[in-house]
Amino acid sequence: MNDTIAAISTTLGVGAISIIRVSGKEAIKIVNKIFKGKDLTKVDSHTIHYGHIINKTEIIDEVLVSVMKSPKTFTTEDIVEINCHGGIATTNKVLELVIHHGARLAEAGEFTKRAFLNGRIDLIEAESVMNLISSKSESNRKVSIQGIRGYVSQIIKNLRQEVLELLATIEVNIDYPEYEDIEVMTNNKIKPKILKIKEKLKKIIQESEDGKILSNGIKTIIVGRPNVGKSSILNRLLEEERAIVTDIEGTTRDTVEGHITVYGVPLNIIDTAGIREAKDLVEKIGVEKSLSLIEEADLIILVLNNNEKLTIDDYKILEICKDKKTIVVINKSDLEEKIEIDKISYKNIIYTNTIDLDGMNQLKEKIIELFHLNQLEQKDYACLNNIRQISLAKIAYQILEEVEKAIQENIPIDMVEIDIRRAWETLGEIIGETYTEELIDQLFSQFCLGK
């Protein structure tokens, strides 16, 4: 990190202005070598200067140069930004000169990576920068800016602090049992504290998942064995005949997609090939695709036939979806009930048919309820903003569940302490307090050049 890096920070193309950003110890010196105007090594920090970029005697461009000195800059290093005329030729020429005079071309995300490694921002803030750049929706933008401003990090830091205080008291108890003025930590005393932390973490996870939904919509997939009425349900929801419906099993072979809005939130609905032991190759590929889509979905609409007994395929599908957010839809409710409803251990079950709209309305109501869509509006947008962060929060939550269980079973306090420490470390990973090289490289490489 001792070298000086440079990159074009604006999109390369035809435009009024392009910015070449240079960061590092030599940044000011390097740009000064190709700048005709004031001596940049003598100017105050955070000032802008008019002049020309020159190559020996040739004038390359008329520019404005901003000089920002360490440490109050994005990377905490000296930064110079050259505002030159837009367009590919000029911008590339200026960058080429900067590199010729000693800077190295920056890798994708390297400016933000430096900001992180130099302690200027944490991982949540860094990821929010990336999120903000790629935001396409208003809510995504709001979530990202809250992340950049550090509100989200603070919530995690506060929670970590509570865990740390608990850890400290437990450790004093283990290491100095003879101290009389310190509160003796028994499992009974730890329990309410753990419950409180767990409660807060649960709220963060919940709000973050809500936030994710507001920004990205709900990825919904309709699954079930052939002929139960999946495509009919899709068509009903879309209010158009999008998918082909016949009474032949295996009608849908590839996925069919459509979009609706429920309570202002976009639902991307995918109808899939019926899942069963496939009879031919095309169907087999379709079935495999259905299974992989289940993995990625936010919501599964699992369709069963009211008019038939449960089959082996039904049981298989019920098993595959059991850990996912699922609504079981018993379709063909207009026909005689033959399904063994008491054998289905899912919480969210509704009855539908394609003759009246009652079932479809119930389905929408259920979706609103499951995703708290009617409460999303009042969100303050301070939430974790990507899957990495949310999964770590969930792991920390699971660890705390284990801690709670261990306490219940009266496991010795020093054993419990190990798990509490793990929870603390996992929370640390969210903000990047603990990290691995690979993670950092992988994360920042997803950024665009010049950021």
Ligand X SMILES: Nc1nc2c(ncn2[C@@H]2O[C@H](COP(=O)(O)OP(=O)(O)OP(=O)(O)O)[C@@H](O)[C@H]2O)c(=O)[nH]1
Omega of the bond prior to 71 within 30 degrees of 0, cis?
yes
CA dist 259 and 220 (Å) reads 10
Using CB positions, name the residue nearest to ligand X: 274
DSSP tag of 337: P
The H or E element spanning position 220 is: strand 218-223
- Which residue in 75, 144, 231, 290 binds Mg ion (CB under 5 A)? 231
Instruction: Kindly indicate which of the ranges 15-23, 246-254, 317-325, 375-383 contains the residues binding Mg ion, using the contact rule CB under 5 A.
Output: 246-254
Q: Does 274 bind ligand X (CB under 6 A)?
A: yes
CA 410 to chain centre: 37
Q: Does 252 bind Mg ion (CB under 5 A)?
A: yes
Sheet containing 326-331: which strands, arranged edge to edge? 256-262, 265-271, 218-223, 299-305, 326-331, 349-351
- Which residue in 75, 83, 91, 231 binds ligand X (CB under 6 A)? 231
* Residues within window 339-398 making contact with ligand X, judged by CB under 6 A: 353-354
C-alpha R_g of the chain? 29
- Which residue in 32, 112, 232, 290 binds ligand X (CB under 6 A)? 232
Count interface residues toward Mg ion (CB under 5 A). Answer: 4
Identify each DSSP E strand in 43-134 by its residue range: 47-55, 58-68, 79-85, 104-105
CA dist 232 and 353 (Å) reads 9
Q: Does 331 bind Mg ion (CB under 5 A)?
A: no
Nearest to 382 by CA among 203, 260, 233: 203
> Are the beta carbons of 209 and 393 closer than 8 angstroms?
no
Smallest distance from ligand X to CB 273, Å: 6
Of residues 334 and 401, the one with the C-beta less far from ligand X? 334
Of residues 116 and 351, the one with the C-beta less far from ligand X? 351
Of residues 75 and 231, the one with the C-beta less far from Mg ion? 231
CA dist 445 and 107 (Å) reads 8
Count interface residues toward ligand X (CB under 6 A). Answer: 22
- Which residue in 75, 208, 252, 385 binds ligand X (CB under 6 A)? 252
Nearest to 392 by CA among 430, 445, 443, 362: 430
Instruction: Kindly indicate which of the ranges 11-19, 36-44, 330-338, 425-433 contains the residues binding ligand X, using the contact rule CB under 6 A.
Output: 330-338
Of residues 24 and 229, the one with the C-beta less far from ligand X? 229
Q: Which phi and psi (to 5°) does residue 322 adopt?
A: -65, -25
Out of Mg ion, ligand X, none, which partner does residue 190 contact, by CB within 5 to 8 A per kind? none
Smallest distance from ligand X to CB 371, Å: 24
Residue 379 one-letter amino acid: K
Sheet containing 58-68: which strands, arranged edge to edge? 35-36, 47-55, 58-68, 79-85, 17-23, 5-8, 104-105
Out of Mg ion, ligand X, none, which partner does residue 432 contact, by CB within 5 to 8 A per kind? none
Out of ligand X, Mg ion, none, which partner does residue 112 contact, by CB within 5 to 8 A per kind? none
Out of Mg ion, ligand X, none, which partner does residue 146 contact, by CB within 5 to 8 A per kind? none
Smallest distance from Mg ion to CB 185, Å: 59
Q: Does 11 bind ligand X (CB under 6 A)?
A: no
* Residues within window 91-130 making contact with ligand X, judged by CB under 6 A: none
Residues in a beta bridge with 58: 55
CA dist 105 and 98 (Å) reads 9
CA dist 87 and 180 (Å) reads 74
Of residues 142 and 230, the one with the C-beta less far from Mg ion? 230
Smallest distance from ligand X to CB 249, Å: 5
Phi-psi region at 2: left, alpha or beta (left = phi > 0; alpha = psi -120 to 50): alpha
Residues in a beta bridge with 265: 262
CA dist 174 and 400 (Å) reads 20
Out of Mg ion, ligand X, none, which partner does residue 246 contact, by CB within 5 to 8 A per kind? ligand X
Q: Does 249 bind ligand X (CB under 6 A)?
A: yes
Smallest distance from ligand X to CB 361, Å: 14
Smallest distance from ligand X to CB 319, Å: 19
Binding site for ligand X (CB under 6 A): 224, 226-232, 245-247, 249-252, 274, 331-332, 334-335, 353-354
List residues binding Mg ion (CB under 5 A): 230-231, 251-252
